[in-house]
Amino acid sequence: MANNKRKCFTCHRENNTYTCEGCAKRFCSTHIPEHQQRLNEELNHISHGYNEFKQTINEHKQNPQNHSLLEQIDQWEIDAIEIIHQKAKECRETVIGYLQTFINDIENKFNDLNKQIQQLQKENDFNEINLNYLINQLRKLTEELNNPPNVSIDCSHSSFNEISLIKPKLNKWKQNGITVAGGNGRGQALNQLNRPDGIFIDKNKNIFLADGENHRVVEWKCNAKEGQIIACGNEQGDEMDEFYFPIDVIVDQQDHSVIIADPGNSRVIQWLNQNQQILIDNIDCYGLAMDKHGFLYVSDYKKNEVRRWKMGEYKNEGILVAGGHGKGDQFNQLNSPTFIFVDGEQSIYVSDSNNHRVMKWRKDANEGRIVAGGNDQGRNPNQLSNPQGIFVDDLSEIYVADWGNDRVMRWYEGGEEEGEVVVGGNRSGNESNQFSGPSGLSFDNEGNLYVVDNGNDRIQKFEITVNEIFC
């Protein structure tokens, strides 16, 4: 007989043993049944595990929403909703802030209109023209209140959680200017200027300049290499055909006459086809403006006021429309007003130079309010330094030649308390992105910006670039 005696894996005694084909281990007759029993128990355990897994499959089939992938989606939903809630909250706060400013502005306009009504009732002197004007103004205010201009909500973003308040498009300009007049040194030649100040751009992009220390008014045709003298050109003097430091100029679109502020001779004078007439005498004039009704506005830097004259009635003293309460920094005062601007509602914007601010006086208002600067002299974003030229566009964006800071600033009326630099702001210099005391400024009908660079005896044109949306 064959010898099957080997050590048992369990008891380690030599005995007749049998090999397990599964694990290749040898067990004696006593322990082989135990090994088999252990295998049976493991099989039962596996079978139980299979039964549990089968139950799990059935549970998933019956409740697929409990799957971990769906739980991830649920969590994503919770997180996304929170993001949307936060974004909506931020947008609501922005809209509420904008609407509060907008409604306050409407209320101010309404109060001004109400004062006019009360004044008419008090004086009991009105006619159909006055009534039609009041009706139209109230209709405009109603339309404006119901339809905030240039503002909408944009929900069209590709990202589901994006929403924006679209405010008016803010123009941008190339930061390097192009010299379009002067720039050939200080002098009297037709391609030169000498301390220019006020500027006027007509619909053909022709430039009219008060060429101060040359005591003349010159016109530079669009793209011309030199200007042509259209008023004076003689030495300084006080004759009808002479100037003494002319400082501002406008063109009357009705008769194409040129109106000049001639402060050295304390007068506002009109030139039409080489014929001159004094419109206003004995006035320390500085800035000029004309509204759509043909009323002429003049700032007086010594009396610290702005007055308005009706066309053809220049012999009277005019109507006080801003300042006139002595030199000071109160809301009903000015301190050396320079350039002015009048909008379509006959509101006056005044560069209140020595108060380092820009004031807005609504029609028939008793006092103005600060719309730019007014935080002492300085170069911070909320400050100005002896502001000069001023322009207000249809979106109530206020552009200011910030003379002492060699930059042009922009404020959005009713918006932030700080302005932004539009061009310049790179210290004083004669590079294409620098100024040396910017004074007058204006725009052509394409939105290009023109700045009188007084200290550099040149006019810089800054070309408009693509608009961007401020959200």
Do 157 and 239 have their domain in common? Answer: no
- At 2 the pLDDT is 54
The number of domains in the chain is 3
Question: Are residues 318 and 368 part of one domain?
Answer: yes
Q: Which residues contact 8 (CB under 8 A, 6 or more apart)?
A: 14, 15, 17, 26, 27, 28, 30, 31
- Does residue 389 lie in a domain region? yes
Number of H helices, E strands in the chain: 3, 31
Kindly report, residue by residue over 4-30, the tens digit of the pLDDT: 688 999 999 988 888 998 899 999 989
Task: Identify the domain boundary among 116, 146, 165.
Answer: 165
Shared-domain flag, residues 287 and 405: yes
Q: How many CA atoms lie within 13 A of 40 on its CB side?
A: 6
Whole-model pTM: value is 0.69
Return d(Cα 236, Cα 214) in angstroms, integer: 8
- Does 469 fall in a domain? no
Residue 468 lies in a domain: no
Decide if 467 is inside a domain: no
Residues in the chain, total: 471
Question: Among candidates 352, 337, 262, which has minimal Cα distance to 302?
Answer: 337
Do 161 and 183 reside in the same domain of the chain? no
* 110 plus 51 within the same structural domain: no
| Per-residue confidence (pLDDT) for residue 149, from 0 to 100 | 56
Per-residue pLDDT 10s for the chain (471 aa) are 456 688 999 999 988 888 998 899 999 989 999 999 998 999 899 889 888 888 888 887 887 767 777 788 888 888 888 888 887 887 777 777 777 777 877 887 788 788 888 888 888 878 887 888 888 888 888 887 887 655 666 665 555 555 555 555 678 999 999 999 999 999 999 999 999 999 999 988 999 999 999 999 999 999 999 999 998 867 888 988 899 999 999 998 778 899 999 999 999 999 998 889 999 999 999 999 999 889 999 999 999 999 999 988 888 899 999 999 999 999 999 999 999 999 988 999 999 999 999 999 999 899 999 999 999 999 999 999 999 999 998 778 999 999 999 999 999 876 668 899 999 999 999 999 999 999 999 999 889 999 999 999 999 999 998 554 444
On whether residue 470 sits in a domain, the answer given is: no
pLDDT score for 298: 98
Residue among 430, 424, 428 nearest 462 (CA) = 424
319 and 454 share a domain?
yes
- Give the model's pLDDT for residue 400: 98
Supply the pLDDT for residue 164: 58
Domain's final residue, options 18, 45, 62? 62
- Left if phi > 0, otherwise alpha if psi is -120 to 50, otherwise beta: which for 308? beta
End residue of a domain, out of 120, 145, 165: 165
Residue 471, in any domain of the structure = no
CATH at residue 233:
2.120.10.30
pLDDT of residue 74: 85
Residues 383 and 288 in one domain: yes
Position 377 scores a pLDDT of 96
* Host domain of residue 329: 173-462
Q: Within this chain, do residues 28 and 125 fall inside the same structural domain, yes or no?
A: no
Report d(CA 216, CA 204) in Å as an integer: 21
Q: What one-character DSSP code corresponds to residue 186?
A: B
141, 230: one domain: no
Identify the pLDDT of residue 416: 64
Tell me the residue type at 105: D
184 and 91 assigned to the same domain? no
Specify whether the CB–CB gap between 210 and 219 falls below 8 A.
no
**Angle of helix 128-146 relative to helix 68-123, nearest 10 degrees?**
170
Q: Is 299 found in the same domain as 434?
A: yes
Are 19 and 147 members of one domain? no
